Amino acid sequence: MSEQTFNAENTAMLLIDHQVGTMGWVRSIGFDELKANALALAKAAKALDIPLVLTSSMESYAQGPLLSELEEIAPQEHAARVQRQGVVNALDDENFAAAVKATGKRNLIIAGVTNDVCTVFPTLTALSEGYQVQVVADAGGSPTALADQVALRRMETGGATITSTNQLLAELAQSWTGANGQKILPIVAGLMPQ
């Protein structure tokens, strides 16, 4: 469990492999919901000036490019994304590890496109290195519901806090009438069913 509240000042956000090809492999959550949640996280990071680190794996293969909306939302971060060449655990990639360290933050929000591969291994590594981690479960998924449940349990047992996009956005807002809340409120509203 996290020892302190995550806020805009003490947190970095890692979005791992939200690529158009890989997203098609996820079956435990709908494509549109997964996409909306991942983009909401990126929007929140930008709105609150939270360091945002993006990474992708093998973009020229079946995994495909990162969601084009990420480039629109966070052009600098997209340009600086760490393009891994098949390294499964993103934190085993020295460039990604260096980018995370360079944020200077010890609280990490992690969302990977597949919880059972892209999210679980960097989460466990970060926890072993003393970071506090919140995993945004619904900004990722897995090929099956069982695979997703097992991955989330493994991360929680390892010390991660499992959260949802809406729950995390509310935590970052702190107060809907405060400055951060006013920046987050439109993002939350955009996630509500029509």
40, 97, 118, 187: which one is catalytic? 118
DSSP assignment string, 40-67: HHHHHHHHTT--EEEEEE-TTSTT-PBP
Looking at the DSSP assignment, which residues form a beta bridge with residue 107? 11, 132
Active site residue 118: yes
**How close are the terminal C-alpha atoms of the chain, in Å?**
34
CA-CA-CA-CA torsion sign (21, 163, 75, 101): negative
Cβ atoms 41, 82 nearer than 8 A:
no
To the nearest 10°, the Cα dihedral for 41, 160, 141, 90?
A: 80
Cβ atoms 111, 15 nearer than 8 A:
yes
Residues 142, 147: Cα–Cα separation, whole Å: 6
Q: Which residues are catalytic?
A: 118
